[in-house]
Structure 1
Amino acid sequence: MKKWYYNPVLASSLKTRMRGWRTAASVTAYLGVMLFIAYIFFRIYIQSQGAYGLSFNANQSVGLQVYLTLAILQFALILLITPAQTAGVISSEREMQTLDLLLCTKMSSVTIILGKLLSSLGFILLLIVASIPLFSLVFLFGGIAVEDIAMLFLFYIITAFAVGSIGVFYSTLFKRTVVSTVVTYVTIFFLGIVSVALGVYMMSMHYSQTPQPVDYYIPFILYINPAVGLADLLSRQAVGQYAGNYGIIGLVIGGMGGTPQGWLQQLPFWVKNTVVISTIATILLVISTWSLRPYKKIRQKNKKELAG
């Protein structure tokens, strides 16, 4: 008897993925790219400090710079890799004409969608866990606590879940993998770049009114951008050198005259950001599940007609 949490799609995908050598090679290449780029930034930072005759505190400055470089680099890689892993999970089955076989089984649409999503996110989670030794180098210099890295990795997982849900949604919506992949990357570009431009414009227009408002106004479009959430999280962790305990969002709004009122506005922006993107991701998964159901009903109806 299978356990209630057993997912055949997830189990089969993980066995297939982990069986070959490509997974190990991908993890090695991923860590190699991160280490190489982090080393380049580290050398540039040290040389710039020496060029200006500045002394640096190895317990704070160097460790903080290494941490910020690794954090931003891994976040960018997650945004690049996750859509490629999830945007074809359903559309590829449709192209290979194996989707009907999945729908004719006893597995529900929820099991299929979650199995496909979790199998793709499992690889992303493997990359995140494999990067822990790189982040442990920060402890050689100090300046960053263990709980800071734990919060960062939690934010990574939630971001991967949100981006992966977008990929699964488009994979269910479109028949071609190429189309779903392109649309997924366009959506990520909108969330990362366009939403920031629109959000900054809306904030500047709001606080340019006469008399100047003193409310704590953050456009909703910024809440759906995980990059803004990462900026707020990292700025809060960079105590004493950047935004301190206020976060980059709090400093920007405070500079415009806004003042947080109540516990909800005083809650860190990155926490509210993770709640919003998790909610949207869940809604997209529900829609994806319902999108598969009409196909299953049509197949069941055809079976009954043939049997009758």
Structure 2
Amino acid sequence: MKLLRYGPVGQEKPGILDQSGKIRDLSAHIKDVNGAALDDASLDKIRKLDIASLPVVEGSPRIGACVGNIGKFICIGLNYADHAAESNLPIPAEPVVFNKWTSAVVGPNDDVKIPRGSKKTDWEVELGVVIGKGGTYIDEKDAMSHVAGYCVVNDVSEREYQIERGGTWDKGKGCDTFGPIGPWLVTRDEVADPQKLGMWLEVDGKRYQNGNTSTMIFGVAHIVSYLSRFMSLQAGDVISTGTPPGVGMGVKPEAVFLRAGQTMRLGIDGLGEQQQKTIDA
């Protein structure tokens, strides 16, 4: 299933994509696509619905973030060996963990704001993992049963804030609009192997990233298990699992960063595409 949220900011309604690509309204069955709707029992109820009988959403509504009321937005850094190399950093022995604030979350096609004074705003296409069943100290062999599904994430990052301004990475990762999520939450039964997904990102039509989740250092099951040692994972949490090579910071001979008036377009096999315009904050 491809679940989504549509409508104006703050007024999103739950929906599902039918086989012809039409949005169908789920409001009569769930209040939102959030933690309460993402456990296996809830998803099974949705799966048993006659999708063709649900109301069609007419027109072209705004698509919101595919998960509402996100509790934690957890990210993994340097999780592709080639990206670590382009960042001039060693391959980590354990997952590098940081946060994006939930106030960064926007829809997949919403504008991305370049922060005031920013010099080094960058892009990162990433596989997002949405937790459906909470837990702590989760065994790796059981980890995938805690996953509701997957989505596209653009881990927008301000490199000066992240690296040069002191403190943790979080400062450069959590600015408003730095977390486009969606368009769809694709349930795990539709993703045969999350470690075999092609992913790409373009800026103004030029392709910078062209990778595959097969080159992750730490796979999805390991990440879910690892994180659960340090925090309880809860339904509706989103984990962004790292980016392949091709970020602006790594462009040679001179880094390339975003400015207002540009267009980012990105996608992951089977999970849909995003497109954002950059504007000044």
Same fold by TM (over 0.5)?
no
* Structure-2-length-normalised TM-score: 0.27
Which structure features the higher share of helix residues?
1
Return the structure number with greater relative CO, CA threshold 8 A, min gap 6.
Answer: 2
* Structure-1-length-normalised TM-score: 0.26
Structure number, greater radius of gyration: 1
Which structure features the higher share of strand residues?
2
